């Protein structure tokens, strides 16, 4: 892959200059990206007049996906029925104030985070999940 493109993608978005929509300085219509095949470069051209300008960056659009799953939503409420899980009477449910919850320890999928204790309220109408 082209190293210039990789530098552009890996660059900090806060430092990157936002291009946005470009407009023609002559007729104020929108400029559209077009490839100059002869010189192999990206140009912005007006469809109304003959204005054309070279793009500051070879990238038109970056779609950066940030996928993060809330770990608490992955806990099945039926864990309260598991007889092998320990129960605590020292942690009050923040949702219904019941003083009974099952708890277990699980390591996060992200290596940089520490292991956490997960609590699930034993009140069947509540089933609230939380961490300390």
59 is in an annotated binding site: no
Enumerate residues 6+ apart whose C-beta is below 8 A from 130: 72, 93, 94, 118, 119
Annotated binding residue 24: yes
Query: Which one, of 95, 91, 113, 94, lies nearest residue 104 by Cα?
Result: 91
Which residues fall within 8 angstroms of residue 26, CB to CB, at 6 or more apart?
Answer: 46, 49, 51
Integer CA distances (angstroms), 125 to 46, 77, 96, in order: 62, 11, 9
The span from the CA of 100 to the CA of 89, in Å, is: 5
Residue ranges of the annotated binding site for Zn(2+) are 24, 27, 46, 49, 93, 96, 121, 126
Residue ranges of the annotated binding site are 24, 27, 46, 49, 93, 96, 121, 126
């Amino acid at each position: 892959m082209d190293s210039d493109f990789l530098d552009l993608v890996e660059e900090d978005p806060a430092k990157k200059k936002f291009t946005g929509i470009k407009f023609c300085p002559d007729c104020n219509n929108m400029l559209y990206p077009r490839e100059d095949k002869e010189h192999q470069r990206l140009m912005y051209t007006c469809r109304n007049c003959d204005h054309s300008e070279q793009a500051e960056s070879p990238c038109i659009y970056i779609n950066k996906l940030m996928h993060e799953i809330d770990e608490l939503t992955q806990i099945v409420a039926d864990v309260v029925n598991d007889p092998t899980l320990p129960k605590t009477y020292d942690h009050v449910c923040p949702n219904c104030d019941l003083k009974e919850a099952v708890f277990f320890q699980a390591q996060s999928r992200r290596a940089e985070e520490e292991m956490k204790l997960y609590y699930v309220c034993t009140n069947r109408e509540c089933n609230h999940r939380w961490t300390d």
